[in-house]
Structures are given as C-alpha cells and as structure tokens.
Amino acid sequence: MSFSSFPGQSRLRRFAIGLFAATTVSLACAQSVGPAAGPRAADPPGAAPVRAGVETWLAGRYKVDELRRTPVAGIWEVRIGNELIYVDDKGQHAFVEGHLVDIRSNRNLTRERVDELLAIDFKDLPLGIAMKQVIGNGKRTMAVFEDPNCGYCRQMRKDIATLKDVTIYTFVIAILSPDSETKAKKVLCADDKVRAWTDLMISGKVPGNAGSCETPLAKVRELAQKLGVTATPTTFFPNGKRLPGYVPAAQLDRLLDENSKS
C-alpha cells in the first residue's frame, strides 16, 4: 500500500493539506465538499477576520457556512459543509485534522516539521546494495524503495522512463505480498537487474531464473526499518528530503530539480 492512496481522507482535507501538490489539488478541487449541514448562520461578533481569512485561502472553491467560538480562547470552529476546521481569531492559521496550516502563505507547517524530522543524510545510504540506473548525464539523483507488487511503484517506474538526466538507486524491498520476495529474488539474480526490474514493473514479466543467488533483501529490509520506511514507493533526494508515495511525472521532475544539489 502506498501513502498516496489517502484512505478515508475528505475532499476538503485533500485540498487543505495537499495545496503544495498541484495535481492532487486539481483533482480534489473540481468536486464539491458535499451538501451543507444547514443554512448559513449569522456571524457572531469578532468573526469577520476569520471568515475573510478562510474564504481568501479557499479562493472561492468553498464557502464558510458557520463560525462558532470554541472553549479554547482565540480559536474558532469553522464549518464548511459537514467539515470542521479550527482557525485562530486573526484568520491566519488553521488546524486541519491535526495539521497546522499558515493560510496566508499556503504552508503546511506540520508537514514541514515532519519533513525535517524524517530527513536523512543521503551520503549514509548504502548505495552498493541498490540497483543503479543512469539516464542521460545522471546529474540529478534519487533513491527509491519499491516492492514488486506495488501498483504505485509500477506507475512511478513508467514515469521514470520519461525523465532526463537522472541517476536512480532502487532499493528492492519485499513487504506487500507473499510472492514479493520470490519476484524480487528473481530480479536480483538476473544478469541485467535494471532491465529485469523495469520489465517486471512495466510489463509484468517475471525473470525465468531460479532466484537462488545471494541477494541484499535482508539488508534492505533492515535499512527500511532503520529509516522508518513502511510503505512503497518511498523516495529520498540528495538533500535528505523524503517523498512518501507516488506523485505524477511532472511533479517528480520538479522535485528532482528542487532537491538535487551539486
């Protein structure tokens, strides 16, 4: 399973938390939140900055239906359809399902802090146990953990074929299905591992060897546990930033530019 599958996530939350992901936003914002829970109530005194801040942030996509003070001083409950978010009395910051968002700059402050905590030192990755693939001059770099039965990994592998000037280190991990290890071993025992992996992920072609050679699967599993990798794909960039889940090719290309440092 990939982090990108968003189980149980509301459309409003996908909009609010995913503002930095243009493709996700466009898919979510084209749909309505759902029927309002009731008619719009008159705003209580002091609510004007909250309404103005939230509706400016939502850029006309949704309207605030009701504003209520909470028992916490300076925090307002904001109802949008059947969804609730919590906003400070200046209309500058919002809590959306536990995420703190700066609604003036569209910055997810919680995500930024989590990214900081999850960052790694790229040079400490044992790249020798990964499959290395160089496209073009290879000046941009990424390391990705993939499982042979991961659907999002297969889509990402198709996207990788369209990238230019990138070096990909693939850590093959077997965590999703009982036969993940069997497929992984057959790839890692192939004469051309990169081609075998690409054929498996894009075309579903499993190598015909016995898969009986020595492989780094155990070491990769230990590495994944050390780094807290629990889903695929998970990508790391040279500046240490982590990307959990799948993003479309154009966004991945942009992230490579932003996070590949010479």
Q: What mean pLDDT, rounded, does the chain reach?
A: 85
pLDDT band for position 61 (cuts 50, 70, 90) = confident
CA-wise closest residue to 194 among 129, 126, 131 = 131
- Give φ, ψ of 160 to 5 degrees: -60, -35
Q: pLDDT tens for residues 143-168? A: 999 999 999 999 999 999 999 999 99
Q: Which residues of 47-63 are buried (b: 16+ CB within 10 A; e: fewer)?
A: beebbebbbebbeebbe
**Residue 40 has what pLDDT?**
59
Q: pLDDT tens for residues 212-247? A: 999 999 999 999 999 999 899 999 999 999 999 999
CATH class given for the domain over 122-259 = alpha beta
Q: pLDDT tens for residues 89-110? A: 999 999 988 889 898 888 889 8
Give the C-alpha distances (Å, rounded to integers) separating 145 from 10, 19, 178, 232. Answer: 28, 25, 18, 6
pLDDT band for position 210 (cuts 50, 70, 90) = very high
- Predicted TM-score (pTM) of the model is 0.69
Task: Indicate if the pLDDT at residue 34 is higher than 50.
Answer: no
**Residue 118 has what pLDDT?**
87
The CATH number given to 8-116 is: 3.10.450.70
Task: Indicate if the pLDDT at residue 13 is higher than 80.
Answer: no
**Residue 41 has what pLDDT?**
61
Q: Where are the domains of the chain?
A: 8-116, 122-259
